[in-house]
Amino acid sequence: MNIWRKLLANIFLAGLAASLLLGALESGRAQAQTPSTYTVQPGDTLFVIANRFGVPLADLAAANGITDVNLIDVGQVLVIPGGESAGGVPAWPGETLGELAIRMGTSAEQLAALNQMETSTRLFPGQPVQIPPDATGDTALRFGPVTAVRLPSQIVQGRTGRLAVESSRPLSLTATWNGLPLGIQPAPEGDGRKQFAFLPTPALLGPGPFPVEIGYQAAGRESISQTFSVFVAPGVYDSELIELPDGKGGLLDPAFTQPEIEKLYALWAVADEPLAWSLPFSRPVSLEYPTTSPYGTRRSYNGGPYASFHAGQDYGAPEGVTVTVPGDGIVVLAEPLNVRGNSVVIDHGAGVFTSYWHLSKISATPGQVVKVGDPLGLVGTSGLSTGNHLHWELRIYGVAVDPLQFVEEGVGAWSGLSE
């Protein structure tokens, strides 16, 4: 186990970190000529030193392999990043060629040959060392181009977390969350070197630790991947027993329900539109209409197990109340369905879809580009519904999560992910 993974394990064990930093495995910068170094003086902080040399704190930390900016010692020699790239990876202070080889997922012999030096050669801090382009050989560190992985330490059931990955070059990443394929998107800025995905967490998952696996295809080689762990914490949800009368039971015949489920899941699985919104979502009906059934309530049908949960948020509102678009997007479905009645589905990009069921009237058309506040239909009780209400559902990569998180916190923005 390499030091990064040990460090991560300790962070998990101590429960200290709200987000985890998989170190900066390489700074992506090197010194063209003699690298500048600085010896830490009494009273210095990394922040002060970064300001003094006019370099970003994160770059300074990355160039020196520092994961905790509060831990620097007087007398410690720091590499000051900022020169033009010489095509090499700068050595960390005190690092041997062997250690650098492990850090970059290659061997000391290979580095020695490439750089015309002995494996025992001492490196000076910041010395650029040429790395083989396909340096992915070592199991522990073959994550070379991935410089930072950020994940929440925990996600509450029914909530949505975010994964952010930075790499030293644009990388075609894949990722799964407990086996669910994630729709990785480029961040609005970052030249393809910053990417993100959501971690939609079903209300009935866990509690417990679940894996996030991140990988990429190395050129002409096998898939390279790393697995991380995120703890799913218990959410506070009610339970309800639902007795289906004989007459209505017949309506849940798969022949009646299945075609529209398949149609909807096929829509929800697409995550190829770019992020279309950045602000928190607005409510789809005005504030005077209260929640009548929140997202996440566990449901038992006819005395069976609590194997399902309310996938959306219900607002009590009379027939004819206008339903509005909560965030920018594109209408991808607007038609009557057997169970859900008159329905509208909006694609907000990045794998996020909102849906509106049981409408009395639809006023949106498929393909229509919609803006926040646009009317999309009227409240009703069409389909399998016992009274007028709006059922509002938010799905990410097909997983139903609590839509109110998007109203209250504005989960969509990239800003904040890179901190």
Binding stretches for Zn ion (CB under 5 A) = 312, 314, 391
Nearer to Zn ion, 148 or 345 (CB): 345
Neighbours of 303 (CB within 10 A): 8
Nearer to Zn ion, 162 or 391 (CB): 391
Closest separation in Å from C-beta 45 to Zn ion: 53
Closest separation in Å from C-beta 179 to Zn ion: 27
Nearer to Zn ion, 15 or 336 (CB): 336
Closest separation in Å from C-beta 402 to Zn ion: 13
Nearer to Zn ion, 81 or 312 (CB): 312
Cα 4 to Cα 98, 108, 371, 386: the distances in Å are 16, 19, 44, 55
Cis before residue 133, ω within 30 degrees of 0?
Answer: no
Nearer to Zn ion, 310 or 348 (CB): 310
Nearer to Zn ion, 328 or 393 (CB): 393
Closest separation in Å from C-beta 312 to Zn ion: 5
Distance (Å, rounded) from C-alpha 208 to C-alpha 231?
A: 5
Distance (Å, rounded) from C-alpha 314 to C-alpha 316?
A: 7
Residue with tokens 């030249």: 191
Cα 22 to Cα 6, 10, 33, 143, 227: the distances in Å are 11, 12, 29, 10, 12
Which residue of the chain is nearest Zn ion when measured via CB? 391
Residue 340, classified by CB atoms within 10 Å of its CB into exposed (0-12), middle (13-18) or buried (19+), is buried
Nearer to Zn ion, 392 or 414 (CB): 392
